């Protein structure tokens, strides 16, 4: 079996954990994983857990002198960044070191919905800056976007019985809720990644890896059917979304609200998060590259049933309900 050496930043985060699970479970490629962990986090239980599972854990600060990072990355085939959003700027330092170390493929932290490169969401704008930096260096790369998570798509039920699984206030319905958007179970992200990073066809390309298209109305209808309740339906017109973004932008502390609303505008109003727009923007589709994966991906029905059964695990490890 082929062996690929992977270094990952953010291995204990929501996306990073899914990726580590996916790589360790791979049956077509053997992944040797090195997790770059910040010195301050080395003692965390999640890090000890990684080591127990065969992940090599090394202490690394992205802002350290470049030669330290280059030493750590020498001999590594693929570097994956599942970095915390606020650290996106240090990702460029990681890319610089990867280039200097001769890394063959750099996977920058995208792992979100399909969005045009500039001018739609501030977050994508920043990610695009990193990608442009990578392209300037002629560094091999693969961008992976995974759509919107099931875990962020749970509507609220009047009984409150699934509030435990809500991570952020659920998005209101944009417009009439008829815009399709690609959804994926967070836990399946790693399955896609394990395929994509071993595939020569995806080198220097963007890949859109999602499970199924859903409109916000369909998502609510599904929850109604499975729960026997009628879930909350709050509507927000495109104009109201725009106005709310403009208002939140005046207050720097509201950056999470801005990000959430800009995402909603992109996938819920503009309809960016679809295979058609992905192809227009130059993405390959994981569904076309790996049709054999389809049977291994969790359906939204399965996930909602888990949540209703009290077994839904909210991402970020936080329970807001």
Q: Which span (38-46, 75-83, 114-122, 208-216) binds a second copy, by CB under 8 A?
A: 114-122
Query: Does residue 204 interact with a second copy by CB under 8 A?
Result: yes
Interface pattern 117-136 for a second copy (x via CB under 8 A):
xxxx--------x--xx-xx
Query: Does residue 298 interact with a second copy by CB under 8 A?
Result: no
127 is catalytic: yes
Beta-strand ranges (E) seen in 38-75 are 56-59
**Which residue in 99, 127, 191, 195 is the catalytic one?**
127
Beta-strand ranges (E) seen in 15-88 are 29-37, 56-59, 78-81
Number of residues this chain uses to bind a second copy (CB under 8 A): 18
Do residues 107 and 80 make contact, with C-beta atoms less than 8 angstroms apart?
yes
Count CB-CB contacts under 10 A for residue 181.
Answer: 26
Query: Does residue 282 interact with a second copy by CB under 8 A?
Result: yes
Query: Does residue 277 interact with a second copy by CB under 8 A?
Result: yes
Q: What is the largest CA-CA distance in the chain?
A: 59
Q: Phi first, then psi: give them for residue 247, nearest 5 degrees.
A: -70, -45
Instruction: Tell me the closest approach of the beta carbon of residue 131 to a second copy, in angstroms.
Output: 8
Do residues 1 and 28 make contact, with C-beta atoms less than 8 angstroms apart?
yes
Query: Does residue 102 interact with a second copy by CB under 8 A?
Result: no
Token pair for 141 = 């790369």
Query: Does residue 78 interact with a second copy by CB under 8 A?
Result: no
Query: Does residue 200 interact with a second copy by CB under 8 A?
Result: no
Burial class for 269, CB neighbours closer than 10 Å (0-12, 13-18, 19+): middle
Note the residues at the interface with a second copy (CB under 8 A): 116-120, 129, 132-133, 135-136, 138, 204-205, 277, 279-282
Catalytic residues: 127
């Amino acid at each position: 079996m082929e062996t690929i050496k992977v270094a990952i930043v953010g291995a204990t985060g929501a996306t990073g954990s899914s990726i580590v699970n996916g790589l360790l479970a791979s049956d077509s490629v053997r992944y040797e994983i090195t997790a770059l962990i910040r010195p301050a986090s080395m003692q965390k239980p999640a890090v000890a857990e990684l080591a127990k599972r065969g992940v090599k854990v090394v202490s690394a600060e992205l802002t350290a002198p470049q030669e330290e990072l280059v030493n750590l990355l020498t001999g590594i085939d693929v570097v994956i960044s599942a970095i915390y959003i606020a650290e996106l700027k240090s990702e460029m330092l990681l890319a610089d070191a990867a280039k200097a170390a001769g890394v063959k493929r750099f996977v920058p932290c995208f792992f979100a919905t399909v969005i045009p490169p500039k001018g739609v969401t501030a977050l994508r704008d920043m990610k695009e800056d990193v990608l442009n930096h990578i392209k300037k260096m002629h560094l091999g790369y693969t961008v992976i976007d995974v759509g919107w998570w099931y875990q962020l798509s749970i509507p609220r039920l009047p009984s409150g019985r699934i509030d435990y699984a809500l991570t952020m206030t659920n998005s209101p319905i944009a417009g009439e809720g008829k815009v399709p958007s690609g959804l994926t179970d967070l836990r399946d992200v790693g399955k896609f990644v394990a395929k994509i990073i071993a595939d020569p066809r995806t080198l220097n390309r963007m890949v859109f890896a999602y499970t199924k298209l859903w409109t916000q109305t369909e998502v609510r209808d599904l929850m109604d059917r499975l729960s026997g309740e009628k879930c909350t339906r709050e509507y927000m017109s495109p104009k109201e979304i725009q106005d709310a973004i403009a208002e939140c932008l005046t207050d720097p502390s509201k950056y999470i609200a801005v990000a959430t609303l800009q995402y909603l505008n992109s996938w819920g109003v503009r309809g960016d998060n679809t295979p058609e727009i992905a192809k227009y923007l130059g993405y390959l589709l994981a569904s076309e590259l790996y049709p054999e994966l389809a049977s291994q991906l969790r359906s939204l029905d399965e996930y909602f049933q888990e949540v209703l059964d009290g077994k839904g695990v909210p991402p970020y490890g936080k329970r807001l309900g």
